[in-house]
Amino acid sequence: MAFLYFATSLIWLERNVNESQWVCPFVLEGLGRSETLAVDDFTSTSQYRRCQEIFARWYPGFLNAGEQFRDIVADLVTPEALLLDLGCGRTSLAAEPIQRAKRSVGVDLSLADLQQNHALNDVILADGEALPFADNSFDLIVSQWTVEHFEHPGLVFAQIARVLRPGGSCVLFTTNAHNYVPLLSRLLSGQSQSGLIARLLQRPSHESFPTYYRANTAAQIGSICRDTGLCPKATVYVGNPFYLAFSPFLFCCALVFEKFTDTPPFTCLKLYLLTVLTKPAD
């Protein structure tokens, strides 16, 4: 029954979403009246705030994935570090610790995004599959929300292994392909990427890049690491029920899912995957 409700919800949204407006009938369920919301306004609605309050009661002191990513980077960065942000886009949730590095460099395929990135010392238009740097150039590589967009992740990981100095680390923050959000995203892929999925993922349409999910599970990452000489050192799964906050009913389901996946072996179903890789010292 719940699945049917969920599926029809998504089909309805798929048909009714357009670039400028987020028209959501399930918000009506909670508010009891007709309402049309611009997507950027949704997180400031009373319904969204109510979801945040409930979540805070269930998970007091919770650090979201972005905060945990920032803390991992903060632990690894040193004042002497040369740091690469791979697929840097416009900014990073770890911008503050990144700026503590001696020098930070970003690469990305999007010139428009690079031009708007003011968090890094240097930005370079380059493909992660062919990084324009000498071997062993960086002490630390970070990459946020990029791995699912790599068409050939094996080539990118090989470049990471090449430009990282022996003993250096790489921190990947990405979505976990085993979670329901990317599963739905893939189910509804194609024309949906700039519409419904951008809304579901609450990301602006300019960030809706093609997705492949070819290195988005711990097993896939482990396998590519074995091929490229990198070592997975730590894996952390972090949940997020807020993609379903547009419906009180679905948000409750999402909360139950979070509780269910708090216990191993089900933690590997949570939405985000934070992975620390190292390049073995010579």
Ligand X SMILES: C[S@@+](CC[C@H](N)C(=O)[O-])C[C@H]1O[C@@H](n2cnc3c(N)ncnc32)[C@H](O)[C@@H]1O
- CA 253 to CA 232: how far, in whole Å? 32
Interface with ligand X includes 106 (CB under 6 A)?
no
Interface with ligand X includes 209 (CB under 6 A)?
yes
Interface with ligand X includes 215 (CB under 6 A)?
no
For the beta carbon of residue 78, count every other beta carbon within 10 angstroms: 11
- CA 13 to CA 195: how far, in whole Å? 9
Interface with ligand X includes 129 (CB under 6 A)?
yes
Q: Which is nearer to ligand X, 106 or 239 (CB)?
A: 106
Q: In the stretch 59-88, what mask flags binding to ligand X with x, by CB under 6 A?
A: ----------------------------xx
Beta strands in 109-230 (DSSP E): 122-125, 138-144, 164-175
The CA-atom distances, in angstroms, between 122 and each of 73, 79, 87, 156 are 19, 17, 13, 20
Beta strands at 272-278 and 231-238: parallel, antiparallel or unpaired: antiparallel
Stretch that binds ligand X, among 48-56, 107-115, 177-185, 222-230 (CB under 6 A): 107-115
60's CB contacts (< 8 A; 6+ apart) are none
Considering only 26, 55, 69, 145, the residue that binds ligand X (CB under 6 A) is: 145
Interface with ligand X includes 243 (CB under 6 A)?
no
Interface with ligand X includes 110 (CB under 6 A)?
yes
Interface with ligand X includes 202 (CB under 6 A)?
no
Interface with ligand X includes 133 (CB under 6 A)?
no
Site of interaction with ligand X (CB under 6 A): 87-91, 107-110, 113, 127-129, 144-146, 149-150, 156, 207, 209
